[in-house]
Structure 1
Amino acid sequence: MRLDHYLVAYDLVSTRSEGQDLIKQGFVLVNDKQVTKSGYELKETDVITLLKTRKYVSRAGEKLEHAINEFKIDFTDKVVVDVGSSTGGFTQCALNYKAKLVYAYDVGTEQLDKSLRDHSKIILNEQTNILDVTIPEHDIMTIDVSFTSIIPILRHISNSNKELIALIKPQFEVSPKELKKGILKNIKVEKQVIEKIVNEVNVLGYEINGFMPSIIKGKDGNQEFLIYLKK
């Protein structure tokens, strides 16, 4: 059995992607030796040790938590709209920081972690593009989307939103020809992406209350950024 399959089969992690992340980061031992290949084939006699378990259902939760603490954002008793909820990292983090309710939106289906699917404080909207939605009343919005630009989303929600924190992924703001094996390595292009987004949020009437590189890179190693906006 593959190592990543083993972690899921024996309930050591919730998903294969979570297991693969932990393996890649060196948190899984086989017979007391670090193994960093998800496809490592296990023998029946192998002993598996997990050095670290995740606080959140995905790495996104850790990214948001760091920004909350860095920017001192208060989620207490707030209604949240989470755009690009996926597995639920941002949603879970918002609830951990005492959000009253989270409207979770994602274009996919069956992605939200099973531990969150029946949560009484989550209103899940799957197979739903936020650009097709009338935004519900809320206090703060979180955005974490992939394979699409964040700019159309910012334009769509700006009239109904006063406070948001977004994960900027420059690799999805540029033409594929700018990427090398899925990674944006050109710092000049990365800077241009950030400047374009900053100009856009200024036009939309937001003030930038915080900006920082994410302490956790994207899965392919892309540098991402968190931006905190208020009106």
Structure 2
Amino acid sequence: VIVASYGKIIPKKILEIPKYGCLNVHPSLLPKYRGPSPIQTTILNGDKKTGVTIILMDEKIDHGPIISNSKFEIRNSKLTYGELNVKLAKLGVKLLIETIPKWIRGEIKIKPQDHSKATYTKILKREDGKIDWSKSAQEIERQVRAFNPWPGTFTFIKHKNKTLRIKVLEADISKDNKLIIKKLQPEGKKAMSFEEFKRGYHDFDPIL
């Protein structure tokens, strides 16, 4: 049985049914970033390296011994969650194709995870996308990419005595380390460039 992106614990009686066990494909280099949001956490932390790990599942989440893994160097520092997810999914498929025949033939020796080095990620909620403007420009830019497309990164403004939710879709960092918002989407409107936004909402007040 092959499992991927399944966030529930599988009972032992189910895990023991398949002859070759239940294998889990996880988009991080375990034991780093166990849990439901490893790709987003990789981007949020500005990591330069990630990967995919195949483990033999046990009764704990992302806890079982390692069967194989493959590293991925993040050379493009502007990858969004959606883009990195696709790249790691392709890497996972390639690793499965290489691993399964060897596993079935009994050619792989499993390696226990070093649980003392385990780190954990959390379930993301919509409110996690709200921008904290006290953070650095680099942290906010990474948040925009990590939460694209979900849960999205957003802030609020005051415009014509109304509070509007603004979704930030694309951002960058200037040479002097300031945040540049390049693309956004006001509540109920289509996505637009920041220049278009300024023309339509030139008298807005930010809510920090």
Question: Which TM-score applies when normalising by structure 1?
Answer: 0.23
Q: Which has the higher strand share?
A: 2
Larger-Rg structure: 2
Q: Quick one: higher RCO (CA 8 Å, sep 6+), 1 or 2?
A: 2
Question: Which TM-score applies when normalising by structure 2?
Answer: 0.25
